[in-house]
Amino acid sequence: MNSSPRQRPQDGPQSEPRTSLLVALVVTMGVGPVLIHGLSTTSDYLLPRLGITESQFGLLSTTMFVSAALVAMLLGRLADVVSVRHQLIFTFGGIALALTIAAFTTEYWFLFIAMIIAGPVQVIANPTTNRVISQVVPRAKRGSWIGAKQSGVQATQLFAGIYFPVITLWLGWRGAFLGAAGVVLVLLWTSLRALPPEPPTNWAKVRQIFSMRRGSQVEAKNIDRLPAAVWVLAAISFCGGIGMQITNIYLPLYTVRELDFSLVLGGIAAGSAGLVGVLSRVWWGHLMGKGHSAAKLLMWLVTGGILGVVAIMLASPMQEPILLWIGVLLFGLTITGINVIVNTATMIITAPERIGTATGITTLGMYAGFAVGPILSGTLLEQTGTFLVTWIAVTVVYVICFGLAIVLKYAPGNPRNEARQAA
């Protein structure tokens, strides 16, 4: 079951890769959530125009993340054999298509097509970027690089929080989504130019993966050789994903309805979490690179997340917007860093040839959490008419996540000592 990192050869070059490659990885991680953040930051504008309820809105997000979770492990395996260039074309091109479909939506059900497309094309970004880092970045630098590239998601949240409300009020939501699709295509062109030379796609292995009988044998073999800690990290990703996505999706709506924020100010609140999250993810990645225990860092992150959601929850009954901003700050500083710790720990304890498979498993946990969060919070909101129960649910999930961090500390394959050796 276990595979000790001490037994595998040193992997990756020792020279420092170009900064342009890091920018490309940040952008690759960031383009996937553009659609969902765009819908979230304009939710108060869109819901009455589409004639849908809060739970129906949550179902859109759930659909996207279910479609992502269903193919996470398959795409993780493909990320090990398909060229990075082809993976970027798949990711950027798919999101541009989904944004275009959303822009021309006339009926609620039509949005589901965009969401089904958006799920798989963003889920491959994690194993893609992890593969690049494992191949071209010296091991001592990987924690910082993972923190930086994971910050792409929060950079998108910052962009969406400002861009979509402003452009929607100016050009309408169709103009905003079409404009975003154009930006994505430009970013694809610049990212492809930054990629280092690489072998072409191994189509024989691609066919092998898609062969049901042979593919299942390969998958079973790879999964059986993964450290047990990978599965604990996947469970942590699941719980963290629930709380993270509930906050990302419903925070703008909460600020507008409960605190009388304008659409633009609600978007800025969400964008502020993204801005803090950019810096946060780089910092937590830096700490992992210095050899700090993944389990202990996760405990600190979840504790901060609990304090943050309590502050957000109290902002409405106390009518104190300052509590909202404190909660947003804590959310950005802590919960957004969970994926950095999970990805870095996964890379430390997993052999290079199984990075895609292991990342596919932890990514599956994350997207499964992303799928559960929005529909859970939407249903609670519609049934109770208040956000209070939703924030209580998030608190409970974070408490469970804290318990899983304790389990990680004692799980076989726990990277608490491996990080120091890697550094």
Q: Distance (Å, rounded) from C-alpha 201 to C-alpha 112? A: 31
Residue-range domains of the chain with CATH: 14-422 (1.20.1250.20)
Using alpha carbons only, how large is the chain's radius of gyration in Å? 20
The model's pTM? 0.72
What single letter denotes the amino acid at residue 252? P
Q: Report the alpha-carbon distance of residue 79 to residue 73 in Å, rounded.
A: 10
Helices then strands, counting H and E runs in the chain, come out as: 18, 0
Do 241 and 33 meet the contact criterion of CB atoms below 8 Å apart? no
Is 91:28 a contact under the CB 8 Å cutoff?
A: yes
Residue from 11, 404, 26, 6 nearest 230 by CA: 404
Maximum CA extent, the chain: 62
- List the chain pLDDT tens, one digit each, 423 residues: 344 343 333 444 545 677 888 889 999 998 988 998 888 888 888 888 888 887 788 788 888 888 888 887 788 778 778 888 999 999 999 999 999 999 988 788 888 999 999 988 888 887 888 888 888 888 777 777 877 887 788 788 788 888 998 999 898 888 999 999 999 999 999 999 888 887 788 777 777 777 754 445 555 555 556 777 888 999 999 999 999 888 888 888 888 888 888 888 888 888 888 778 778 877 887 788 777 888 899 999 999 999 999 999 999 889 889 999 999 999 989 998 898 899 888 878 776 666 767 777 887 888 888 888 888 888 888 888 888 999 999 999 999 999 999 998 887 666 554 444 444
Structure tokens at 286: 């830096």
